[in-house]
Every structure is written in structure tokens, then in C-alpha cells.
Structure 1
Amino acid sequence: MKGKYVVSALLAAVVSLAAFAEVTSLRGAQEIGDTNTVAPIKPVPKMQDKLALEYVHQPPLIPHSTEMVQINPSNNGCLQCHDVDKYRRTGAPRVSPTHYMDSNNKILSDVAPRRYFCLQCHVPQADAAPLVENTFKPAGKFGQ
């Protein structure tokens, strides 16, 4: 019983300290009620060279615009060029074999539902300044 009181007291202390901590955001010093000007979306070139991967299992970045690519439950525009039976004809990189496995590593005939929405992991490359400082350094051969 005494342990519950100690834990509760410690939790209350942490919560009260957090209430006094200064909270910052990417909006800067702008108040919530102020009118916010939205930065323009960075242009993505129609085609560009592929960027090097920075870490093991990093999803490759998309070297072209995805503005006209439609992905919804009934259609995946990425598979028009990248599917296993189409990539040779289009010259696009093939979808990884891991995308045809379910969560139990069973091989499927179509892209697994958990891998169907490509833009959850793969994003277009854009030449944009980082929003926050990043000190990440690629390991070994990565980033070359």
C-alpha cells in the first residue's frame, strides 16, 4: 500500500514539473489564434537521380513526382510500373519480394494489404531545408 503512495507522489511530481516546462513548436513564437501563413510545398522534379540510402532497411525515396499517382483501396498507381509483371517493360525498379508476404511470412500472389499504400513509407525526394537540426550520421557504407 505504501508503494502505491510513493508511486503516486512521484507521478504527481513529474506531471507538475512537466506543466512548468517550456513547450516549443515548429510554429515558433506564433500564438495559436494568430493567422498562420503556410510555407509553399517544395517542388518535386519530374525525374531525378536516386539518393543513397542512409540506413539498413530504409524505404527507398521516390525519384519522381507522385502528384498524379492515385492510390486508394481499389487502385494502386505505383503498381502500373513497379509490379513484378510490369517492371521489365517500364524500366522501373521492381517491388521488393517482402511486399508480397503477409505478417506470417506467407507468400501472396498480390502485394500484401499491409504494404499496399506505398506512400506510407516511400516519399518523393525534395531539395528542402530540414525543419529541425539533425545530427544523424549514416553507418558504414550507407549515405555514399
Structure 2
Amino acid sequence: MLGVLLAILFIATGAIAQMAPGERVPAPSGPEQEMGEVEAKPIPKWVVDDVRKERAYPDQPPVIPHSIEGYQLSVNTNRCLSCHKRELTQESGAPMISVTHYMTREGQMLADVSPRRYFCTACHVPQADAEPLVGNTFRDMSELGVKQAGEQ
């Protein structure tokens, strides 16, 4: 064990010795880049039309079709539940959260939202009117020629 520690110490000392005197960090590689001001792109506008969006695949969490700016979402408060909780949807007109959000991992029903489903934005996201950052070649199964069950 002592031999291994001495070998590691020897290698580390050799690497440090190869640096220029007085240098603690090796110089960065690559071409020099000047620091300058870069114009920031405008912040995209949120999509706030309250229209439910079609889902791209089964069991996809629905997107949030309204602004959630200023919503408090913490251990003590969840503003989403003030409209989407089962007993509040009648007066708010909002869709009820899925019954799966009232279940434990073992499938046991709970009287209130499961703690593992309490932080909505872990799965549900608002949409912004912005260009995608990366390309997307996703195609629905129906576009690939897959037929519905029972079709010939």
C-alpha cells in the first residue's frame, strides 16, 4: 500500500516539476480569444394561449399552456394545485391532474398528491416561441406506416 502511495506522489511531483517555475496551473491551449461584448438575443415570449397541445408520444407529460411566471413551487406551497387539484377543478375550469399523481410507487391511492409528484415542473414545462436549439427528426408512428390495431 505504501509503495502505491509513493508511486502516485512521485508521478504527481513529476507533473508539477514539468510546469514553468512559478506556474500553478498549466497554460490553456488553443488560440487566444479576445474578450468583447456579445449582443444578447431577445428573450423568447411564452406561449400563453391556454390551448392544450397534442402530445408527441403516449404518456408524455402535457406541456403547460400558460405562463407560470411568479408561481411559487416549494416544499410548503404549490400554486399549480390551486387550480389543478381534483377538488378545485370544478370552480377553476382547469383540467385535473392525473390520478397517477395521487398514487404511491406501489399503486396505493392517496387522499392528497403524492410527494414524488408534487414538483410539477420536474416533468411539465411551459412553452416558449423559440427556435429549437438542436434539430429534431422525431416522426410519429402513424407517419411511419404503422397501422392501428385491427386495421388490415
Normalized against structure 2, the TM-score is what?
0.65
The answer for the alignment partner of 2:94 in structure 1 is 92
Give the residue type in structure 1 aligned to 2:125: V
For structure 1, which runs of at least 5 residues remain unmatched after alignment? 1-30
Cα 1:137–1:108 change in 2 (3 A) is: same
For structure 2, which runs of at least 5 residues remain unmatched after alignment? 1-32, 144-152
Normalized against structure 1, the TM-score is what?
0.68
CA contact (8 A) 1:42 1:128 kept: yes
Give the residue type in structure 2 aligned to 1:130: P
Cα 1:52–1:106 change in 2 (3 A) is: same
Deviations for 1:121-144, whole angstroms, at most 9, x for unmatched residues? 111122211111110012239xxx
The answer for the alignment partner of 2:80 in structure 1 is 78
Mapped partners of 1:102, 1:39: distance in 2: 43
The answer for the alignment partner of 1:121 in structure 2 is 123
The answer for the alignment partner of 1:68 in structure 2 is 70
Mapped partners of 1:69, 1:140: distance in 2: 37
Give the residue type in structure 2 aligned to 1:123: V
Deviations for 1:98-137, whole angstroms, at most 9, x for unmatched residues? 0001111111111111110001111112221111111001
Deviations for 1:58-89, whole angstroms, at most 9, x for unmatched residues? 00011100002110000000000000000111
Structure 1 runs (4+) deviating above 6 angstroms are: 33-36
- How far the C-alpha of 1:38 sits from its partner, in A, is 5.1
User: What number of residue pairs does the alignment pair up?
Assistant: 110
Q: CA RMSD in A?
A: 2.0
